[in-house]
Amino acid sequence: MAAGRMPTNFPDVARPLGGPDSRMPTGARATLVVGLIYLFLVGVSSLEAGIKIMGADTQERLFSAVSNPIAGLCVGILGTVLVQSSSASTSVIVGLVASGALGVDQAVPMIMGANIGTTVTNTLVSLGHVRQSAEFRRAFAAATVHDFFNVLAVLILLPVELIFRPISGIAKWVSELLVGSGGTEWKSPVKKWVKEPVGWLKDLWDQLGASGNVKGALMVGTGLIIILLALALVTKNMRALVADRIERSLNAILGKAGGLVALVVGMLVTIAVQSSSITTSILIPLSAAGVLTLRNAYPVTLGANVGTTVTALLAALAASSPDALTVALTHTTFNVAGILLLYVLPFAREVPVSAATLMADLAVRRRVLAVCYVVVLFIVAPLLGVAILR
């Protein structure tokens, strides 16, 4: 046993299989992660190829529902709530834009919706503390501060974007700087690497007799499964790889009010584990226990918002259209703009915190309100939005 380590009295068989402490060597796990990221890119490319196989009419039928920006926002929320991962939903949106089925204008509200939808995970985690009033108040406030920030950012930035297009404009400018204009195909090096396995998938469905829309739908379905599976495994393995680093980083911000540091820590952890839900959900039990204050947890969630956009940027590497990169960059630009508006300005910074504190106080007095809040914000309101505005 290494010096300084205490013996544990629990046998290794008690450890959860594949859990963060399972005994895969670091090098092997890192290699596995690289392979899974490659698989994820294959999934995005397969999705793009599947949509392209479908005819323009089918694409029109499928995506006309999101031509209304509010409906698009609601679809973004619902889709993300369904897969519990904005990384997955934004990657799918990037794939759809790459295929040409979705325009940048349609995709931007969906991306904003994904930002709201991803907060459902930590809000659900906070409900686990419902039996202890004091814990629940802290946990629910820490969870809903993320909700309120994202909803406020959308309330402010979506109308501005619809009228003046500043966010997609900046993203497009950066995208053009990097890969050229939106009308052309760009030669992504990653695209070449994933072309071969996507070709195998096409051949497989050909051999099984699929063609036309059916083949396209099968390619899309395969792509979606690969994306979700690969991302889930990347997240799990990266969490195991960087658990000690996450622990050190969180310890560094315990009890300290350094907003910028907490923000950067949230971003780094999220980039590392490829999931903002993991980062924000870790904060909930710590907030519930009173280890982390609401004001310390808040900037970590904002960093997580920015960090999670890296997955969509990664997905854009496998796409053939510069518009896909534009949409991925829109996600980043939107989150950075949200921070500039609602965190950098001191008076605005207090708005999500006060709203979350108030909401938590109400939820502690009437627990059913907490459940209603989750159901209405993440399911009922977006469903109504899609039903009415499509």
Partner 1 sequence: MVLSFFRGGDRGLDHVVTRSVAMVTDARHSFDLACTALMSGADPASIADDVRETDLRINANEQRLRGELAVHITVHGPNDIGEVIGLILLLKKIERVGDHAKNILDLAESGVSFAAEPDIDELLEERRVVSGFFTEASEILAEHDGAPVSFRERVDSMVSQIQSRIDGYMTSEQPGHQVVPRAVYHRYLKRIVANLNSAVLAATEPVRVADNSD
Count the site residues for partner 1 by CB under 8 A. 41
Which is closer to partner 1, CB of 281 or CB of 320? 281
> Considering the complex, what minimum distance in angstroms separates the CB of residue 331 from partner 1?
23
d(Cα 101, Cα 52) in Å, to the nearest integer?
8
Which is closer to partner 1, CB of 141 or CB of 282? 282
| Residue carrying the six token digits 């820590």 | 265
Subset of residues 241 to 260 that bind partner 1, contact rule: CB under 8 A: 243-256, 258
Which is closer to partner 1, CB of 3 or CB of 155? 3
CB burial class (10 A; 0-12, 13-18, 19+) of residue 203? exposed
Cα 38–Cα 232–Cα 287 angle in degrees, nearest 5: 135
Residues in contact with partner 1, shown as a per-residue x/- string from 18 to 47 under the rule CB under 8 A: -xxx--------------------------
Subset of residues 264 to 283 that bind partner 1, contact rule: CB under 8 A: 264-265, 268-269, 272, 282
d(Cα 186, Cα 327) in Å, to the nearest integer?
15
Q: Give the chain's count of helices (H) and strands (E).
A: 18, 0
Q: What is the DSSP letter of 320?
A: S
- When binding is defined by CB under 8 A, the residue of 7, 25, 27, 346 that contacts partner 1 is 7
Which is closer to partner 1, CB of 21 or CB of 203? 21
d(Cα 23, Cα 34) in Å, to the nearest integer?
18
Question: Applying CB under 8 A, which part among 89-97, 157-165, 286-294, 360-368 lies near partner 1?
Answer: 286-294
* DSSP-assigned states of every residue in 201-218: HHHHHHHTT--HHHHHHH
Asked if 261 is part of the footprint of partner 1 (rule: CB under 8 A), the reply reads: yes
* DSSP-assigned states of every residue in 217-228: HHHHHHHHHHHH
d(Cα 320, Cα 1) in Å, to the nearest integer?
52
How many angstroms separate the Cα of 163 from the Cα of each of 70, 159, 386, 389? Answer: 14, 6, 21, 19
> Considering the complex, what minimum distance in angstroms separates the CB of residue 186 from partner 1?
32
- When binding is defined by CB under 8 A, the residue of 100, 169, 180, 285 that contacts partner 1 is 285
Asked if 1 is part of the footprint of partner 1 (rule: CB under 8 A), the reply reads: yes
> Considering the complex, what minimum distance in angstroms separates the CB of residue 29 from partner 1?
15
The separation between CA 57 and the C-alpha centre of its own chain, rounded to angstroms, equals 30
Asked if 9 is part of the footprint of partner 1 (rule: CB under 8 A), the reply reads: yes
Question: Applying CB under 8 A, which part among 17-25, 201-209, 308-316, 352-360 lies near partner 1?
Answer: 17-25
Q: What is the DSSP letter of 12?
A: G
CB 363 within 8 A of CB 370: yes
Asked if 6 is part of the footprint of partner 1 (rule: CB under 8 A), the reply reads: yes
Which is closer to partner 1, CB of 248 or CB of 366? 248
- When binding is defined by CB under 8 A, the residue of 4, 27, 189, 346 that contacts partner 1 is 4
Q: Which residues bind partner 1 (CB under 8 A)?
A: 1-10, 15-16, 19-21, 243-256, 258, 261, 264-265, 268-269, 272, 282, 285-286, 289, 291
